[in-house]
Structure 1
Amino acid sequence: MPDPLLFGAPQYNLWIETVFEPTQAKVLAYAERLLAEGFPPGVLMIDDRWSNDYGDWTFHPGRFPDPAGMVARLHRLGFKVMLWLVPYVTPDSPTARQLGDEGLLVRDTGPGADGRAKVASWWNGWSAGLDLLDPRARAWLTGRLEALRDDIGIDGFKFDGGDAPWWRALGCVDPEAYTHAWNRFGVDWPLNEFRDAWRAAGLPLAQRQQDKYHLWEGRFGLDSLIPNALAQALTGHAFTCPDMIGGGEFRFVPGEGGEGFDEELFVRYAQIAALFPMMQFSMAPWRVLSPGNLAVVRAAAHLHTELAPEILALAEHAAATGEPIQRPLEWAFPHRGYAAVTDQFMLGDTLMVAPVVAKGSDGREVLVPPGTWLADDGQTYEGPATVRIDAPLARLPYLRSIAAPKG
């Protein structure tokens, strides 16, 4: 299974707070403010542009004058540290020239090509691609990452950018093979994250959902989180993480209904994530929330840590058996017509979570399976039944089975 800290505490990704300009000062300030605001320490991820160039994978000396000292400070604060990287190389860089000369980059095989490295566009510019099907290229990258571990103290990596379309743009005949190779490469690092995968069921990878917008509804909205997670679970990808709380794409999608910030959405997003196998923050809650809503989100983070032993036990079980951590009701209570229930889920077989997923709702209908169930507010319910549960913004409804069905 992936590193237990990915399950046992919230993850904190600096993407939204630093965008393409992370610095040592910003990283330390974010971590220290997290603790000052009462959030538990966990995994801290430094995202895009911490390095000199793509493929270089050494800290930018201007933005990070003492990376080893920074990581040591973060370790003392209780964090493990991950770095973002992609399998691409800035074309006009010493690294690209070295790797090109050694034949470790994807080559241009088109008409009239002379065997030089292919350069193509991905979401953040033009790059060459490391030939992940060549064991020499993988060994070269392993050396770079081990140096970051041994010299700086880095604990793990966010392996981004493995999307098949980018490999297709580089002319790869079997682009999915490169996505799969990227997934397999990450297996050697227990502290990992992937956003895209191919034939990766059963691998010990933390698999974050596709980037979401700051929206309530639709394929990229809050109400897609549970259906997406259940689909991952049923296809053997047990170690699932929702997107960053509030949506990792919220400030970059004008015209998609995401203009402006909705505190209610952020709070409900945090509550949904709280009882997923993993939860991940990026946008600083104290920067965007009222004191009252900040307290609710803080409570959601602590609920996750309180249930960490249970979540970890389920993760260990998933690693041993392939059974999901997060389960549809139909999994735990088959043949009762629950297959279409996609706004509730089971955490294991005894804890049922029924978050609010609709804007402006102060309650919801909850399908209660057979047996006796104790709710988070102390009320008991006998199932099977459908009940109306009050859920003001401060409440995340969840119920625990305390007795099997009678008879």
Structure 2
Amino acid sequence: MLKRILSLSMLAKTTTLLMLTSMLIFCTSANQTDYNQIIEIEENELWYGAAVNEGEKMPFEKGYKANLNGNAYGNQASPLLISNKGRYIWSEAPFAFEFREKHIVISENSEPIHLEKNGNTLKEGYLGASGKYFPPKNKLPEMLLFTSPQYNTWIELIYNQNQKDILDYAHQIIDNGFPPGVLMIDDNWAPYYGRFEFRKDRFPDAKAMVDELHSLGFKVMIWICPFIRPDSEEARFLMKNKWVLMDNMGNIDLSWDKATKPAIVEWWNGFSMVMDFTNPEALGWFQEQLDFMMLEYGIDGFKLDAGDPEYYTHNVLSYKNVTSNEHARLWGELGLKYPLNEYRAMWKMGNEPLVERLRDKHHTWEDLQLLIPHITTAGLLGYSYSCPDMIGGGDYSSFIDVDSDKLDPKLIVRSAQCHALMPMMQFSVAPWRILDDVHFRAVKKAVELRQKFVPEIVKLAEESAKTGLPIVSNMEFMFPDQGFGDCKDQFMLGQNFLVAPIITTEDSREVRLPEGNWVDANGDIIEGGQTLSFDVPLDQLLWFRKL
């Protein structure tokens, strides 16, 4: 085993050691976490990957650093970096990395780091990594998630989820001319975390509610999390069986079988016990609760929130000794049983039939501008079945105690347009409640445009399940070496449709057309290989088809 430490100063002095850097990455064993691995950046090489929520910072520049150990950056992540030269870096475990002047320095890895090459482009590099480390499964999530808009009750009701208002929301969707789709009942439908039944004070007849939603054409999801209220009947039962994470009480030498107290983890809704999905019996119990909700009430699927690595902290003990990132991945595996699923946090589950939602965005133009670099990064990590958060923003702090006249109606419209030709489209705040007629009609027009593209989106989803290719991708992915490496305001739907939404307060924008001929929405042919300016009316989305 080669055990040689290379410093940047040594690299600067000799080309021989530059060659050895590539050798080092294959010779690092699990206990050599203090040895930096140094990878030379090639001329004009651009790097992407690792964390979806860092997408706007790609391609990575000098000074950027990240540590994936216990951190998925609030969204999906994977131990993968890919370059526009076809090279990729992979490990089975998380690692830290830093971009310096001409090198990538990798550290804190507990598994070998693999530097490999497939072709000479970003797309070829992705296909090489995907084919070897997270191959496509030829399986898809529930197709209704693609074929119709989704509707989430979060922004309208926040923690006041209740039968009457949910049914009112559903009827308003239909009455205002929107097609039915998946309806997601968000947090606080249960008496407490760990109790799998609808609370009677807010849902006097939950089965009848679900039946009515089904009669309207909806499929119904409910929000769930891996947390358990510590002073509950369920907590006592789970603790008796040690099906929750245990606390090492500050003793790093304490083994799981000797632990006597449950770990109490702080999350955004308080302090809870956490399910231990390394234990098959704990997993079985949890699945029984979900299956009960489907059988008892007719629930069709689940929005599986939380599961972030940081909730599996260093002081916890589990049935099997795994990393915090692996705990997050096991939360993802749970969803494979349920075709109708949605996740926000994920680790190393590329090309699985799981729906991945972007992290909650604020009701701001700045956050709207994050949708494209984030969702295209998701595709680069194999998370192709992705949803760009909620139209107008999904962070409730932007809406709570805010009058509708203080919201930006244009932002709602441009957000809907940005969603329209992405893999999925999700509403939460009710546009008919907050918009005047002009802006409301513009939103409906975006939905109508999407419905025309549904056959294309379905075809791309089916192809992705077979090939691993993302449904939407950044421009560099499809058009290498044409100067699109840092393009973050337009994207490709499949190989043939360029989408350029308005994501600023202006009603005009420039579009960088790749080489070749393109057809705009009016049928006019435009020669590519140039940058053009377009005025974009409020009710229009710019898109182009490649001839």
TM-score category, normalised to shorter length: over 0.9
Alignment of 1:208-223 (within 5 A): 208-217=357-366, 221-223=367-369
Distance 2:304 2:282 in 1: 16
Q: What is the identity, as a one-letter code, of the residue corresponding to 2:518?
A: W
Distance 1:156 1:306 in 2: 26
Distance 2:507 2:316 in 1: 52
Q: CA deviation at 1:330?
A: 2.1
Alignment of 1:222-261 (within 5 A): 222-252=368-398, 260-261=406-407
Q: What is the identity, as a one-letter code, of the residue corresponding to 2:175?
A: A
Q: What is the identity, as a one-letter code, of the residue corresponding to 1:52?
A: P
Deviation per residue, 1:299-349 (Å, 9 max, x gap): 112222221111011011111111110022222222222222111111111
Q: CA deviation at 1:380?
A: 2.4
Q: CA deviation at 1:169?
A: 6.9
Alignment of 1:386-397 (within 5 A): 386-397=531-542
Q: What is the identity, as a one-letter code, of the residue corresponding to 2:519?
A: L
Q: What is the identity, as a one-letter code, of the residue corresponding to 2:279?
A: D
Confirm whether residue 166 of structure 1 aligns to residue 315 of structure 2. no
232-241 or 369-378: bigger deviation: 369-378
389-398 or 300-309: bigger deviation: 300-309
SS of the residue 2:220 aligns to: strand
66-75 or 270-279: bigger deviation: 66-75
The match for 1:11 is: 150
Alignment of 1:19-98 (within 5 A): 19-98=158-237
Question: How many percent of aligned residue pairs carry the same amino acid?
Answer: 42
Q: CA deviation at 1:251?
A: 2.9
Distance 1:379 1:30 in 2: 41
Distance 1:178 1:155 in 2: 25
Alignment of 1:319-398 (within 5 A): 319-359=465-505, 361-398=506-543
Confirm whether residue 137 of structure 1 aligns to residue 282 of structure 2. yes
Q: What is the identity, as a one-letter code, of the residue corresponding to 2:156?
A: E
Q: Identify the match of residue 304 of structure 1 among 439, 445, 450.
A: 450
Confirm whether residue 276 of structure 1 aligns to residue 425 of structure 2. no
Q: CA deviation at 1:370?
A: 2.2
| TM-aligned CA distance change 1:245 to 1:169, over 3 Å | farther
Larger Rg: 2
Distance 2:378 2:452 in 1: 24
Distance 1:199 1:100 in 2: 29
SS of the residue 1:44 aligns to: strand
SS of the residue 2:246 aligns to: coil
Distance 1:269 1:337 in 2: 26
SS of the residue 1:35 aligns to: helix
TM, length-normalised to structure 2:
0.70
The answer to whether the Cα contact below 8 Å between 2:446 and 2:539 also exists between their aligned partners in 1 is no
Distance 2:523 2:431 in 1: 29
TM, length-normalised to structure 1:
0.93
The answer to whether the Cα contact below 8 Å between 1:354 and 1:366 also exists between their aligned partners in 2 is yes
SS of the residue 2:272 aligns to: strand
Q: What is the identity, as a one-letter code, of the residue corresponding to 1:338?
A: F
Q: CA deviation at 1:170?
A: 6.2
Q: Identify the match of residue 207 of structure 1 among 356, 377, 383.
A: 356
SS of the residue 2:528 aligns to: strand
**Structure 2 residues not aligned, in runs of 5+:** 1-139, 252-257
RMSD between aligned residues: 1.7
The match for 2:89 is: none
Distance 2:524 2:412 in 1: 27
Q: CA deviation at 1:243?
A: 1.1
The match for 1:197 is: 346
Distance 1:55 1:169 in 2: 23
Distance 2:172 2:345 in 1: 31
Distance 1:300 1:110 in 2: 54
**Structure 1 residues not aligned, in runs of 5+:** none
SS of the residue 2:533 aligns to: strand
Confirm whether residue 183 of structure 1 aligns to residue 332 of structure 2. yes
Q: CA deviation at 1:85?
A: 0.4
The match for 1:290 is: 436
The answer to whether the Cα contact below 8 Å between 2:249 and 2:315 also exists between their aligned partners in 1 is no
Distance 2:311 2:299 in 1: 27
